[in-house]
Amino acid sequence: MSKQKDKISTAVIRRLPRYLRTLEDLENAGTERISSGELSDLIGYTASQIRQDLNHFGGFGQQGYGYNVGDLKSEIERILGMGRTYNMIIVGAGRLGQAINSFIASYKSDFRVTALFDISEAVIGKVYSGVTVRDVAGIEQYLKENKTDIGVLTVTKDQAQIACNHLLAGGVEGIWNFAPVDLENTGNTPVENVHLSDNLHSLVYYINHPQQN
Amino acid sequence: MSKQKDKISTAVIRRLPRYLRTLEDLENAGTERISSGELSDLIGYTASQIRQDLNHFGGFGQQGYGYNVGDLKSEIERILGMGRTYNMIIVGAGRLGQAINSFIASYKSDFRVTALFDISEAVIGKVYSGVTVRDVAGIEQYLKENKTDIGVLTVTKDQAQIACNHLLAGGVEGIWNFAPVDLENTGNTPVENVHLSDNLHSLVYYINHPQQN
């Protein structure tokens, strides 16, 4: 497993979670091995693309055998940084914050939301999926006392940069941003954006330009 | 505005909603014109990239003047297919469905959720942001009687393909899928996926490979 290149393209990295998801489904279905052709049918990438992607991480495919589902899944998990626990907090305990909290609670146990934060008295103290909503005024103190890996932003547009600054000051390792803004001054801290409005506008574009879909 | 090419790359189309979002912010702030350099500072793409992107749609930039914010915004809105109403239904009235419903209610009036659907008796009949939850058993009949442009899937993994089939049978023009599956048999109907788990795994990759961020 030593062939890993120094620099893996963003496009390949973006495809890895999808491989992982498919391999998990296969494993759950009891499938032990799979060819690049069969993976291609499931994932939609070409078999050649799949072989090329997976070659970046070493040659686990064997001629005439294909890939061992469990081994390939473990290797992709390792590359993606699984196998440790990620503590998360969510800033913004409105419907979207609750939805992300609920998603994480039902997702892999490697991810754990330890606290929700909000500015509104109406919601502070409430408990969602076992997680208590705290006053955002105490967020930096909380981060000092509780090692937190990922901060999730589900606040409104005008609160996003302020909340982001708290997360950075508190030393989170990564930010998952659902607010419709491009965060500033994040330095080397990775930010993953889910811009719902951008996504919706792209869909509408393709609805209006069916030939380009 | 006649220079539009036959085929615009996916990458350019993906950037357009971000231009739109930035131009809306500028317009709200009272800014009337902007250079590609200033847009570059705001958006993070290079000025040359911006000029190239916007050239796809005709030459609205003027040497020494830059872009008229309102005109450019209108043109991008036109390209993206705004200026008409999009009726939407949401299948899955759990926390995520409620969050998307609430997002749409507070977003542009061009988008309108007309109904939520769910399989669970516990939630059928409830009203969220003014929208009633209906029994999913009646979804195809509803779609027959109410022209619906976009179907949103916020159901569980095992319900997603079934719900997708209902949406397709009911003639929706596009599907916004939040379920962690790759939908099948969607033909020419555009599907926009928001795979939260994939997104989270990408973030974790970058947390573990900071040099690649």
pLDDT at A4: 47
Q: Which structure tokens are listed for B2?
A: 């006649």
Chain B contact for A84, CB < 8 A? no
- The answer on pLDDT for B205 being more than 80 is yes
CB atoms B43 and A188 under 8 Å: no
Tell me which of B213 and A135 has the higher pLDDT: A135
How do residues A57-101 score in pLDDT, each as one tens digit?
Answer: 765 667 778 899 999 999 999 999 999 999 999 999 999 999 999
pLDDT of residue B2: 38
Does residue A134 contact residue A116 with C-beta atoms inside 8 Å? yes
Task: State residue A59's pLDDT score.
Answer: 59
Cβ pair A12, A56 in contact under 8 A: yes
Q: Which residues of B touch A204 (CB under 8 A)?
A: 80-82, 86, 150, 174
Residue B55 — very low, low, confident or very high, per pLDDT cuts 50/70/90?
A: confident
Cα of first residue to Cα of last residue in chain B, in angstroms, is 38
Mean per-residue pLDDT over chain A, rounded: 91
Q: Give the residue-averaged pLDDT of A117-145.
A: 97
ipTM of the predicted structure? 0.92
pLDDT for residue A26: 95
Question: Measured between alpha carbons, how far is A200 from B90 in angstroms, rounded to an integer?
Answer: 13
Interface contact B21-A102, CB threshold 8 A: no
DSSP, residue by residue, A18-52: HHHHHHHHHHHTT--EE-HHHHHHHH-S-HHHHHH
Nearest residue, CB atoms, A96 vs list B99, B174, B200: B99
* Predicted local distance difference test score (pLDDT) of residue B213: 54
Residue B46 corresponds to which amino acid?
Answer: T
B125 backbone φψ class: left, alpha, beta (φ>0; ψ -120 to 50): left
The answer to whether residues A91 and A166 touch, using CB atoms and an 8 Å cutoff, is yes
Residues of A in contact with B158 (CB under 8 A): none
pLDDT above 90 covers a percentage of chain B that reads 78
- Interchain CB distance below 8 Å, A13 and B96: no
Residues of A in contact with B82 (CB under 8 A): 201, 204
pLDDT of A210 reads 81
Residue type, B136: V
Question: Which residue, chain included where needed, has tokens 């009036």?
Answer: B109
Question: For residues A211 and B13, which has the higher predicted lDDT (pLDDT)?
Answer: B13
Query: Does the pLDDT value for residue B115 go beyond 80?
Result: yes
**Is B199 exposed, middle or buried, given 0-12, 13-18 or 19+ CB atoms closer than 10 A?**
middle
With b meaning 16 or more CB within 10 Å and e meaning fewer, what string describes A87-116? bbbbbbbbbbbbbbbbbbeeeeeebbbebb
pLDDT tens, residue by residue, A158-182: 999 999 999 999 999 999 999 999 9
Q: What is the pLDDT of residues B59-72, one digit of tens each?
A: 566 777 889 999 99
Beta bridge partners of B67: B34
Q: What is the average pLDDT across A26-51?
A: 91
Query: Does pLDDT of B131 surpass 60?
Result: yes
pLDDT at A213: 54
Which pLDDT band, with edges at 50, 70 and 90, does B26 fall under? very high
Q: Please, which pLDDT band fits residue B3 given cuts at 50, 70 and 90? A: very low
Average pLDDT over residues A193-203: 96
Residues contacting A65, CB < 8 A, separation 6+? A33
Q: How far apart are CA B164 and CA B157, in angstroms?
A: 11
Tokens for A164? Answer: 């982001």
Q: Within an 8 Å CB–CB cutoff, is residue B85 touching chain A?
A: no
Question: Cβ of A197: how many Cβ atoms within 10 Å?
Answer: 18
- B143: Cβ–Cβ under 8 A, 6 or more apart, which residues? B89, B166, B167, B169, B170, B171, B172
* Distance between start and end Cα atoms, chain A: 38
Overall average pLDDT of the B128-132 stretch: 97
Q: A104 pLDDT exceeds 90?
A: yes
pLDDT in tens, B140-193: 999 999 999 999 999 999 999 999 999 999 999 999 999 999 999 999 999 999
pLDDT of A58: 65
Q: Are A163 and B186 in contact (CB under 8 A)?
A: no
Question: What pLDDT is recorded for position B44?
Answer: 85
| Tens digit of each residue's pLDDT (9 = 90 or more) over B63-103 | 778 899 999 999 999 999 999 999 999 999 999 999 999 99
H or E stretch including B13?
helix B10-28
Q: Is the pLDDT of residue B117 over 90?
A: yes
pLDDT of the residue at A54: 86
CB contact under 8 A, B212 and A43: no
A45 shares contact with chain B (CB less than 8 Å)? no
Give the containing element (helix H, strand E) for A160.
Answer: helix A157-169
